[in-house]
Amino acid sequence: MMPCARASPAAEALAIIKVGRHLGRIRRLLADCARLDGACLVERATLATQRIAALARPR
Amino acid sequence: MRAIAVEREADRCAMIGENAAALGVPHLELVAGVAPAAPGELSPPDAVFIGGGLTTPGLVERCWQALNRGGRLVANAVTVEGEARLFALRAEIGELTRIAVSRAEPVGAYTWLAPAHARDAADSRDQAMTGTVYGLGVGPGDPELLTLKALRILRAAPVIAYPAPETGDSFARSDRGASFARRSAGDRHPHAARRRPASRRRRSMRARPTRSSPQVAAGRDVAVLCEGDPFFYGSFLYLYERLVDRCPVQVVPGVVVADGLRQRRRPAPGAPQRDSHGGAGAAPR
């Protein structure tokens, strides 16, 4: 996970896939490197039940 | 390439030597011994021909086990009892073929085809393992985000495999697999559909290759549903490594989730108003 955090400042956009049960840790990590505000969470991408929400918001 | 003959009779050994010289068999190694015992000391052959004595206890079994992977056993089955020994191996044999030769001979003023002794050729199961495993990228979720190639293979494949967690349903199968399988392979091969009763959906990646392997061994194609792209951080990588030396494996790429999102991306509340992929993607709707 730390390489992602380091890559984050250099990349225009960053997709973190296969999140699953690591969601809480990822949210904390992004908060720690001040990336949480721009982050959005996509669930069930491309399906009819797709949900997009700000990652910072409590679910 | 070399040939080894095992013969216990001295006069037949001499005959074999003469025939080899006359017919030009290079590197023929002649072992004067009794067949069931002798071949054990030889390196694994690609093909074994048993000219007779099929009913000798342990002979067929020993020769069959000595065969190299993908090897072939050819035997002269003169008697019903001899042929029965070959049929006894049926469960292990990939293909059993009987070849009969008939020669034209005169019958009075006419001609008839006189049958010679039949030869039974048993191909080892490894050689018969001709089913192909397809790693099908089935896209990020939307059943329409599937390539035409993946769809074609999915519809034709008699067996569909998919990863599933220890508990709960398989996401790979949930929409794309299930909907396409119902319309396609499942209809044509109901046994494939019956392989997935609700009670058996709880199968792990670990269990799956061994469950699918007999299908491939039986010469049937297996389509493995892979979320997104099989090789884009996909667990098919592990399956590929295990199978690639054992059977043909083909990988069909799929739409990965980030690409699938381009059309759907809406700016999240509070998120910057720019395309998340930094370029050619569609504008946020």
Chain segment B206-229, per-residue pLDDT in tens: 434 445 566 666 667 888 888 889
How many contacts (CB atoms, under 8 Å) link A and B?
57
CA B149 to CA B138: how far, in whole Å?
A: 10
* Beta strands B3-7; B28-32: pairing state: parallel
Is A34's Cβ below 8 Å from some Cβ in B?
Answer: no
Mutate to test the interface with A, among B138, B142, B226 (most CBs of A within 10 A): B142
Mean pLDDT computed over A21-48: 88
What's residue B68's pLDDT?
80
What's residue B187's pLDDT?
30
What's residue B235's pLDDT?
83
ipTM: 0.71
CA B93 to CA B123: how far, in whole Å?
A: 6
Is B261's Cβ below 8 Å from some Cβ in A?
Answer: yes
pTM of the predicted structure, to 2 decimals: 0.47
Is A16's Cβ below 8 Å from some Cβ in B?
Answer: no
What's residue B129's pLDDT?
46
Q: How many CB atoms lie within 10 A of CB B46?
A: 12
For residue B141, list chain A residues with Cβ-Cβ distance below 8 A: 44-47, 50
What's residue B190's pLDDT?
29
CB-nearest partner of B266 from A39, A46, A52: A52
Minimal C-alpha gap between A38 and chain B (Å): 5
Residue B184 contacts residue B155 (beta carbons within 8 Å): yes
CA B154 to CA B62: how far, in whole Å?
A: 41
Query: Which regions of chain B are under pLDDT 50?
Result: 125-129, 177, 181-210, 264, 273-285
**Residue A44 to residue B277, Cβ atoms within 8 A:** no
Q: What are phi and psi of B226, to 5 degrees?
A: -125, 125
CA distances (Å), B192 to each of B46, B151, B181, B211, in order?
34, 17, 9, 12
Residue B198 is classified by DSSP as G
What's residue B199's pLDDT?
38
**Residue A13 to residue B276, Cβ atoms within 8 A:** yes
What's residue B130's pLDDT?
61
CA B4 to CA B9: how far, in whole Å?
A: 15
List for chain B the helix, strand, coil content (%; round to 5). Answer: 35, 20, 45
Name the least confident of A19-23, A37-41, B165-169.
B165-169
What's residue B136's pLDDT?
92
What's residue B268's pLDDT?
52
